[in-house]
């Protein structure tokens, strides 16, 4: 692919334009990164008040699978990406007929289906010796019965829908065969995977960016803490996890991106589980074919953010080597922050929060705060890990955030 240079124009005088399917906060931050480099941007998103649509040069307000909207997006753009994995893969395939699309429909399709994703993790893939948790597929009553009869080694486990699960949705913990049957019925008897519950010590993720030419760069792993299935805290600094595990996770993520022929930013999530070594062992959990919530700290703590790398990769520009210049902790800001203990609407005390040293507030422009809705994030940077942790605890206390004991 020939590079798409920022600020360039075509024969008709149209400015170089990068497009994105999806109008959420990831799309918004992608648009900001592209515009900062000098690109025009186009967003395809049905919501008239979407965070990304409100700040883009072009907003095509239509369904993700609307043929006329997709044709308009392809006509406007020199390259197109997606901000979330549940956009129809067929839409990406249609766009790719006339415009470079990164990541491609095939890879996004794998990430959309846990059955395909786990099969890819286990079918001869060399992920630096990192496997996924033992699992079984449940698509039919016969498969459910077979697990109940012969695979009690998978219990206790977590039953996960194969498609459309995120932020803890579409998941049920089960301890017995009877609970498994009830949970499958509760989930609508749709295609699922039953994953063995492992003794969890920690969770981490790795961000990789890969270009059309195969060049790949990555960030050091982030250690993540979830509350009720939603990311609450990200620790990003040297020593946030044992060096040997960090190296293995990073190598496995890069290896996966290369195997997939991936283009763009890929996030690979891992579990750290109890093992023979005192530091535990690694298990690959899932991948997200896009920038990731756990990588938002890169906006303030690194020389180049995950969104900058997304723009560089899809436009065919060289990929800068990421370098973290400050230790960082990121706190997710969900809709609960805008309500007091009695459920009354309130405005958070931003004056007190922003008076703390090294605080960087990012609000996503969403009009309505709701429980569990990602409204923004706060990144804390500083000269050393101890000062960052102290400030993060103070900020979390001021905002009434969960997970204080995890900071």
Residue 139 marked ligand-binding: no
Residue 389 marked ligand-binding: no
In order of 237, 315, 324, 349, 393, the CA distances from 390 in angstroms are 14, 40, 20, 18, 5
Residue 171 marked ligand-binding: yes
Residue 75 marked ligand-binding: no
Residue 160 marked ligand-binding: yes
Residue 166 marked ligand-binding: yes
Residue 1 marked ligand-binding: no
Residue 226 marked ligand-binding: yes
Pairing between strand 200-210 and 216-218? Answer: antiparallel
Pairing between strand 281-288 and 131-132? Answer: parallel
C-alpha 356/C-alpha 350 separation (Å) is 10
Residue 277 marked ligand-binding: no
Residue 278 marked ligand-binding: no
307 dihedral zone (left: phi>0; alpha: psi -120 to 50; beta) = alpha
C-alpha 220/C-alpha 242 separation (Å) is 12
Residue 197 marked ligand-binding: yes
Residue 86 marked ligand-binding: no
Residue 292 marked ligand-binding: no
Residue 375 marked ligand-binding: no
Residues in the chain: 407
Q: Which residue has the tokens 């190598």?
A: 251
Closest by CA position to 137, among listed 155, 161, 166, 153: 161
Residue 198 marked ligand-binding: yes
Q: Known binding site for ATP: residues?
A: 114, 160, 165-171, 195-198, 203, 226, 285-286
Q: Known binding site: residues?
A: 114, 160, 165-171, 195-198, 203, 226, 285-286
């Amino acid at each position: 692919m020939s590079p798409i240079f920022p600020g360039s124009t075509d024969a008709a005088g149209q400015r170089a334009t990068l497009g994105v399917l999806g109008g959420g906060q990831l799309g918004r931050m992608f648009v900001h990164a592209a515009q900062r480099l000098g690109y025009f941007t186009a967003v395809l998103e049905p919501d008239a008040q979407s965070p990304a649509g409100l700040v883009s040069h072009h907003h095509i307000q239509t369904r993700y699978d609307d043929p006329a909207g997709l044709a308009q997006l392809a006509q406007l753009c020199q390259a197109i990406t997606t901000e979330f994995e549940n956009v129809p893969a067929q839409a990406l395939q249609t766009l790719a007929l006339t415009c470079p699309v990164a990541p491609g429909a095939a890879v996004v399709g794998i990430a959309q289906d846990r059955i395909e994703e786990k099969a890819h993790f286990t079918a001869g893939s060399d992920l630096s010796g990192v496997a996924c948790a033992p699992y079984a597929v449940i698509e039919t009553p016969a498969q459910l019965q077979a697990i109940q009869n012969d695979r009690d080694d998978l219990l206790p486990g977590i039953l996960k829908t194969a498609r459309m699960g995120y932020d803890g949705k579409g998941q049920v913990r089960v301890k017995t065969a009877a609970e498994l049957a009830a949970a499958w019925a509760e989930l609508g008897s749709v295609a699922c995977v039953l994953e063995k519950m492992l003794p969890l010590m920690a969770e981490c993720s790795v961000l990789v960016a890969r270009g059309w030419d195969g060049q790949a760069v990555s960030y050091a792993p982030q250690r993540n803490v979830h509350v009720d299935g939603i990311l609450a805290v990200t620790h990003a600094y040297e020593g946030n996890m044992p060096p040997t595990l960090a190296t293995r996770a990073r190598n496995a993520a890069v290896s996966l991106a290369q195997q997939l022929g991936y283009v763009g930013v890929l996030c690979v999530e891992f579990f750290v589980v109890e093992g023979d070594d005192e530091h535990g062992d690694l298990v690959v959990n899932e991948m997200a074919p896009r920038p990731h919530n756990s990588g938002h700290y890169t906006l303030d703590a690194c020389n180049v953010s995950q969104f900058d790398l997304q723009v560089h990769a899809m436009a065919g520009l060289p990929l800068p080597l990421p370098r973290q210049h400050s230790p960082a902790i990121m706190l997710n800001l969900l809709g609960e922050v805008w309500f007091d203990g009695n459920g009354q609407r309130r405005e958070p005390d931003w004056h007190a929060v922003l008076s703390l040293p090294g605080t960087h507030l990012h609000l996503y422009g969403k009009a309505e705060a709701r429980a569990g809705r990602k409204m923004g994030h706060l990144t804390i940077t500083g000269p050393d890990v101890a000062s960052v942790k102290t400030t993060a605890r103070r900020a979390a206390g001021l905002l009434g955030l969960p997970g204080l004991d995890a900071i």
